[in-house]
Amino acid sequence: MSALPPCPACQSEFTYQDAGLLVCPECAHEWAADGSASSDMQGAPGADEKVYRDAAGNVLQNGDTVTVIKDLKLKGSGGVVKMGTKVKNIRLVDADHDIDCKIDGFGAMSLKTEFVRKV
């Protein structure tokens, strides 16, 4: 008999420990091994997950479409991304510039969330 507690989601007795978490192989529920508050790790944002917000305070997610809210001068090429340019299918990254994207006519680039607004 295992000394680990049963799964709180499905009551399965076949739980195992993986790093600091207890895992149920039957329903894939994960929870803290130290007995603190149970949290389902399958899509619920964690407390340490960064929330990205646009200039208006709207929450951004991967795949969103945004609009540039001011003219942005590009370093190196001398071009300008004009205000109102739509950027589709953004990807959020944890870096100096929070958004990786492709803009028609300019190619791949990184933007800061403070210069875009969600469409």
Q: Is residue 102 part of a domain?
A: yes
pLDDT at residue 12 tops 50: yes
Residue 47 belongs to a domain: no
Boundaries of domain holding 77: 65-118
Residue 19 maps to a domain: yes
Q: What CATH number did the domain enclosing 113 receive? A: 2.30.30.40
Q: Is residue 50 part of a domain?
A: no
The pLDDT value recorded for residue 2 is 60
Percentage of residues in the chain having pLDDT higher than 90: 46
Question: Does the structure show a pLDDT above 70 at 95?
Answer: yes
Predicted local confidence at residue 110, as pLDDT: 92
- Domain count of the fold of the chain: 2
Q: What is the CATH number of the domain that holds 5?
A: 2.20.25.10
Q: Which of 26-30, 33-37, 57-61, 94-98 has the lowest mean pLDDT?
A: 33-37
74 in the same domain as 29: no
Task: Please say whether the beta carbons of 30 and 58 come within 8 A.
Answer: no
